[in-house]
Structure 1
């Protein structure tokens, strides 16, 4: 049904308020990713996601940690587009194939610090932010800061927009990401 409701807009077919954002995205990537083309149905959602994502990218969490957080959210929310895209980003960051595969399979991570981040992210989502003392202490003892804890909330908010919008619009995987395709395992 979503394929019938949400079309993949071009710059020309998109609402006027989304066109400059789409053009900037095309300039950055060389093409307009399917999720952006579909999210353009709401210029506010498209601009909101891209704006908050730019803020998240400026957080004090290192790039590898941000990507671990994003992939944790994407697998939890079942967003095949985000899992593929951020698996590719992790590969570009020279992350170990084991780390990428463990994240995609929702397995504990071998790196204790990154595992603390993954566990903390789930604790934040499970508790709707009301993280217990034990979980907070474990996160901080792994070398993270109170600022990082709040940045995890920022990342969750950012990628909840993306994963939910991608699922709602039934965004297809762009050909450039096919090597990183992911299917959610049946429970």
Structure 2
């Protein structure tokens, strides 16, 4: 492992209790890994954990990243305390909470349309109570989750979280 990745990876390992295979893989590029870790740290200060994890689930489902779905399902249950039915809803691009639902639907539209959302999509998320700054943060979350989705789809690290069933099968 490159020395420039070690401090960041050590922090994750200490916080999580082990080194996920995805992070060990990602750490092979200190520039990409440390940039992602900085973005993750910054975006962890925005929105609430349930909304962030729900967006991660929705984006990972669209991007077909099974590894990320296992991680986000685990963190949604254990950290965000989302019940199983909420995790399934998020993977399908929804949430039972109306405000969170607007954010998750918007995030899904951003990834599905590659950012070419309609004015009505932006209006809907604004009407749910999100500011333009929040909307930018949702878009940044979509980009951040897509980065790890693509990395894991390309390198296919061994899964170290419980497997999940594709949402289309649920």
Q: Taking structure 1 as the reference length, what is the TM-score of the superposition? A: 0.81
Q: What corresponds to 1:65 in structure 2?
A: 51
Check the 8 A contact 2:102/2:124 in 1, yes or no.
yes
Structure 2 residue 3 is matched with structure 1 residue 16 = yes
Check the 8 A contact 2:93/2:104 in 1, yes or no.
no
Matches within 5 A, 1:66-105: 66-92=52-78, 93-104=80-91
How far 1:34 moved relative to its partner?
A: 0.3
Matches within 5 A, 1:124-135: 124-135=110-121
Check the 8 A contact 1:39/1:46 in 2, yes or no.
yes
Structure 2 residue 41 is matched with structure 1 residue 54 = yes
What is the CA–CA distance in structure 2 between the aligned matches of 1:108 and 1:20, rounded to whole Å? 37
How far 1:108 moved relative to its partner?
A: 4.1
Runs of 4+ residues over 4 Å off in structure 1: none
Quote the RMSD (CA, aligned, Å): 2.0
How far 1:129 moved relative to its partner?
A: 2.7
What is the CA–CA distance in structure 2 between the aligned matches of 1:183 and 1:91, rounded to whole Å? 15
What is the CA–CA distance in structure 2 between the aligned matches of 1:63 and 1:108, rounded to whole Å? 15
What is the CA–CA distance in structure 2 between the aligned matches of 1:110 and 1:27, rounded to whole Å? 33
Q: CA distance change for structure 1 residues 135 and 36 in 2, over 3 Å: closer, same or farther?
A: same
Check the 8 A contact 1:56/1:158 in 2, yes or no.
no
Give the paired residue count: 168
How far 1:161 moved relative to its partner?
A: 1.4
Check the 8 A contact 2:93/2:105 in 1, yes or no.
no
Structure 2 residue 162 is matched with structure 1 residue 162 = no
What is the CA–CA distance in structure 1 between the aligned matches of 2:59 and 2:10, rounded to whole Å? 28
**Which structure 1 segments of 5+ residues have no match?**
1-13
Check the 8 A contact 2:58/2:93 in 1, yes or no.
no
Q: Taking structure 2 as the reference length, what is the TM-score of the superposition? A: 0.88
What is the CA–CA distance in structure 1 between the aligned matches of 2:166 and 2:102, rounded to whole Å? 23
Matches within 5 A, 1:21-60: 21-59=8-46
